[in-house]
């Protein structure tokens, strides 16, 4: 069973770049939730960390380029999550997969809340901006 059931009405924020990144995030999380192979789990956790770093960097670039007023709080949340992911990744790579599995099982709750609040606010802001090459609405 998938940890995150993708629901367009709930998960799409209406900004193509953000939506495609969110879909990829969902796929990685679901693969992590399904695998029983420790080596695959370790590899996928690294993939999740790298994806999340790029995901957050994209959002932060969009926030900076467009003068999004909620940038400081949104960035602080990204920093908190990445710090936690780095810590959990160290445990996972050392063979302590229970830390990683517990973290991954909690990601759907975090993702839903983050997408519903911070990412939706950012998307709403971006939709008020004239279209540029940096993002598409």
Q: Report pLDDT digits (tens) over 60-85.
A: 999 999 999 999 999 999 999 999 99
Does 9 or 48 have the greater pLDDT score? 48
Average pLDDT score over the chain: 91
How far apart are the C-alpha atoms of 118 and 80, rounded to whole Å? 14
Predicted structure pTM score: 0.89
Q: From CA 101, how far away is CA 124, in angstroms rounded?
A: 33
Nearest to 16 by CA among 116, 123, 129: 123
Task: Tell me the mean pLDDT in the region 120-125.
Answer: 94
Question: Token digits for 75?
Answer: 């960035």
């Amino acid at each position: 069973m998938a940890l995150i059931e993708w629901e367009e009405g709930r998960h799409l924020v209406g900004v193509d770049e953000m939506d495609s990144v969110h879909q990829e995030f969902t796929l990685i999380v679901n693969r992590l939730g399904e695998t029983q192979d420790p080596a695959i789990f370790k590899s996928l956790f690294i993939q999740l960390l790298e994806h999340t770093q790029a995901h957050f960097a994209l959002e932060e670039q969009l926030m900076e380029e467009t003068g999004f007023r909620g940038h400081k709080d949104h960035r602080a949340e990204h920093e908190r999550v990445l710090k936690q992911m780095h810590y959990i990744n160290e445990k996972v790579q050392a063979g302590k997969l229970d830390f990683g599995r517990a973290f991954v099982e909690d990601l759907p709750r975090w993702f839903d809340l983050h997408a519903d609040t911070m990412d939706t606010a950012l998307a709403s802001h971006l939709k008020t901006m004239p279209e540029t090459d940096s993002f598409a609405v």
